[in-house]
């Protein structure tokens, strides 16, 4: 009897490996279906939010460009960067714009009369708002 127990083997390594692969494939499918619905929902919410950022007013003088942005969405956004004619600009005041409100940002620079400037405001959600202003 002892000799019979010593010679008997458990489940082979190949069958164990196949069982693990099947378990991982099934778990991956469940994870994909669970997170896929959330990713789709976030993409549509994100797109809807970005369509609700509107340029409300622009003013320019010799030292500042003042831009007011209206956030008609419900998500909070922040202006993280600003570019004027493709060159990074200093934000005098980083603006956090709550949902259903307006924020104003001040861009420092030396601006000349009769010159048009292309301004690009970059938001925390990764999108930008581009406009041009002439002094």
**For the chain, domain boundaries:** 2-48, 52-134
Task: Give the pLDDT confidence score for residue 54 in this predicted structure.
Answer: 84
Task: Give the pLDDT confidence score for residue 20 in this predicted structure.
Answer: 92
Positive or negative: CA dihedral 105, 131, 54, 45: negative
Range with the lowest mean pLDDT among 37-46, 62-71, 74-83, 117-126? 37-46
Q: What pTM did the predictor assign?
A: 0.59
Task: Give the pLDDT confidence score for residue 24 in this predicted structure.
Answer: 93
Task: Give the pLDDT confidence score for residue 11 in this predicted structure.
Answer: 62
Task: Give the pLDDT confidence score for residue 53 in this predicted structure.
Answer: 81
- Cβ count within 10 A of residue 117: 18
46 vs 118, which has greater pLDDT?
118
Say if domain 52-134 classifies as CATH 3.90.1170.30.
no
43-74 pLDDT, tens digit per residue, is 665 555 556 788 888 999 999 898 898 888 77
Return the closest-CA partner of residue 126 out of 93, 77, 89: 77
- Whether the pLDDT of residue 126 is over 70: the answer is yes
Return the closest-CA partner of residue 80 out of 127, 45, 42, 131: 127
Return the closest-CA partner of residue 69 out of 89, 95, 92: 95
Q: State the pLDDT confidence band at 33, using cuts at 50, 70 and 90.
A: confident
- Whether the pLDDT of residue 36 is over 80: the answer is no
Residues 33-72 as b/e (b if ≥16 CB within 10 A, e otherwise) read eeeeeeeeeeeeeeeebbeebeeeeeebeeeebebbbbbe
């Amino acid at each position: 009897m002892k000799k019979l127990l010593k010679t008997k083997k458990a489940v082979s390594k190949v069958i164990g490996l196949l069982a693990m692969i099947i378990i991982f494939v099934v778990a991956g499918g469940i994870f994909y279906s669970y997170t896929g619905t959330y990713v789709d929902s976030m993409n549509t919410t994100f797109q809807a939010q970005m369509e609700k950022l509107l340029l409300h007013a622009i003013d320019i003088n010799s030292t500042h460009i003042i831009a007011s942005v209206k956030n008609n969405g419900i998500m909070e956004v922040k202006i993280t960067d600003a570019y004027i004619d493709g060159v990074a600009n200093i934000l005098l005041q980083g603006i956090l714009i709550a949902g259903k409100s307006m924020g104003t940002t001040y861009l420092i620079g030396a601006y000349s009369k009769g010159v048009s400037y292309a301004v690009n405001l970059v938001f925390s959600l990764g999108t930008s708002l581009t406009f041009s202003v002439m002094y």
